[in-house]
Structure 1
Amino acid sequence: MVERKAVIKNEAGIHCRPTAVITQEAAKVDAVIMILSPGGTCQLGSALDLMMLGLSQGTLVNIQVEGPDEEQVADQFRELFETEFDFPNAGLGG
């Protein structure tokens, strides 16, 4: 098992859009991925479980990965949790 720490950078936290991206990526890997946060712990796979952690901007999470290529998978999910998913709507309304 390997562990990575990540700080949520997305301004709105891990809401519906980032949750969808993260859980879709989790479905593609053959590993058990656990997210540990001040709001609780969940295994990646359920979008609802991830959203229930209430991960807001600045929250530190621990990502634990067990399985094949766990170093690479852990790095991949650290990057996902640190992604700024929300972008201004360029060109809309001015």
Structure 2
Amino acid sequence: MVKFTAKITDPVGLHARPAGIMSTEASKFKADMTIISEGRKGNIKSIMNLMSLAIKSGTEITIETNGPDEEQALAGMREVMIANGIITK
């Protein structure tokens, strides 16, 4: 298992557009991908699961990946989140 922690910087938080982007990216990998926010966990491959967490701007999150391509999955997710303004470097 590998993970990283970041703060949501999108001014609206984790709404439909970023949740869709993250779900699409996560689906490219075999690894399980989980987001953890304020003690709650969600499956990143499920857009509805992500949106149900109602993560607001400024909230600290942890992304965990576990599986055969976990390193690539984590790197891909971080890159996509930075490129789309969901988090910063």
TM-score class normalised by the smaller sequence: 0.7 to 0.9
Output the TM-score relative to the length of structure 1.
0.79
Output the TM-score relative to the length of structure 2.
0.82
Q: Work out the number of aligned pairs and report it.
A: 85
- What is the CA–CA distance in structure 2 between the aligned matches of 1:79 and 1:7, rounded to whole Å? 14
Counterpart of 2:61? 61
* Unaligned stretches of 5+ residues in structure 2: none
81 and 6 in structure 1: CA distance in 2 versus 1, 3 angstrom threshold: farther
- What is the CA–CA distance in structure 1 between the aligned matches of 2:38 and 2:81, rounded to whole Å? 15
Counterpart of 1:84? 85
Question: What code does the residue aligned with 2:76 have?
Answer: Q
- What is the CA–CA distance in structure 2 between the aligned matches of 1:7 and 1:75, rounded to whole Å? 16
Alpha-carbon RMSD across the aligned residues, in angstroms, is 1.7
Larger Rg: 1
- Are the counterparts in 2 of residues 32 and 67 from structure 1 also a CA contact under 8 Å? yes
Counterpart of 2:13? 13
- Are the counterparts in 1 of residues 27 and 45 from structure 2 also a CA contact under 8 Å? yes
- What is the CA–CA distance in structure 2 between the aligned matches of 1:39 and 1:19, rounded to whole Å? 19
- Moved >2 Å (runs of 4+): 78-83
Question: What code does the residue aligned with 1:84 have?
Answer: G
- Are the counterparts in 2 of residues 9 and 57 from structure 1 also a CA contact under 8 Å? yes
